[in-house]
């Protein structure tokens, strides 16, 4: 995988609306990094502008809380040019948003861009399905995929920085 770097990592998770999948990824990754003693900056954003300034979807807040993570303070924001300077790693939640990130990347960007599920052996190239039009079980399934992937990411960063 092509995401090794010597810099202290700063990680951005990106979905479409920044109210369901990427806030869950941000929360799950932050918790796993804290538990592992990994010093890392983390944030999330959306490629779309529909939900700028709005809190995460109540179903995302609920499933995160059920797993011991509070994401309620998050507010939607849109991916912007500075993100490509501030973050060493940008993980897309699905292939459509991966394409959206790549299309916005300035030529000078050094940020490593990949799909989140590339972090799980056997899941490379796969998307975390958009749960927005689904029900609570879809959010639970999302959390399960996202938290597995973010735990792998934390292990990878820990090894890299050891």
Which lies closer to ligand 4NP via its Cβ, residue 123 or residue 132? 132
Which lies closer to ligand 4NP via its Cβ, residue 9 or residue 23? 23
Q: Do you know the residue count of the chain?
A: 162
Dist. CA 22–CA 4, nearest whole Å = 22
Q: Select from 11, 12, 16, 40 the one that contacts ligand 4NP (CB under 6 A).
A: 16
Dist. CA 75–CA 125, nearest whole Å = 28
Q: Return all residues near 103 (Cβ < 8 A) that are at least 6 apart.
A: none
Which lies closer to ligand 4NP via its Cβ, residue 86 or residue 132? 132
SS3 42: strand
The least CB distance from residue 21 to ligand 4NP, in Å, is 3
**Residue number closest to ligand 4NP, CB atom:** 17
């Amino acid at each position: 995988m092509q995401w090794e770097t010597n810099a202290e990592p700063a990680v951005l998770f990106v979905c479409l609306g920044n109210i369901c999948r990427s806030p869950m990824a941000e929360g799950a990754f932050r918790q796993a990094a804290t538990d592992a003693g990994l010093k890392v900056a983390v944030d999330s954003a959306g490629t779309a502008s529909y939900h700028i300034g709005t809190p995460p979807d109540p179903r995302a807040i609920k499933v995160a809380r059920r797993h011991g993570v509070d994401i309620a303070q998050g507010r939607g924001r849109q991916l912007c040019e500075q993100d490509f300077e501030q973050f060493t790693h940008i993980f897309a939640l699905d292939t459509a948003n991966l394409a959206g990130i790549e299309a916005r990347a300035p030529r000078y960007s050094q940020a490593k861009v990949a799909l989140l599920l590339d972090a799980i052996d056997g899941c490379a190239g796969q998307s975390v399905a958009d749960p927005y039009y689904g029900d609570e079980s879809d959010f639970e399934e999302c959390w399960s995929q996202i938290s597995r992937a973010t735990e792998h990411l934390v292990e990878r960063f820990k090894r890299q920085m050891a």
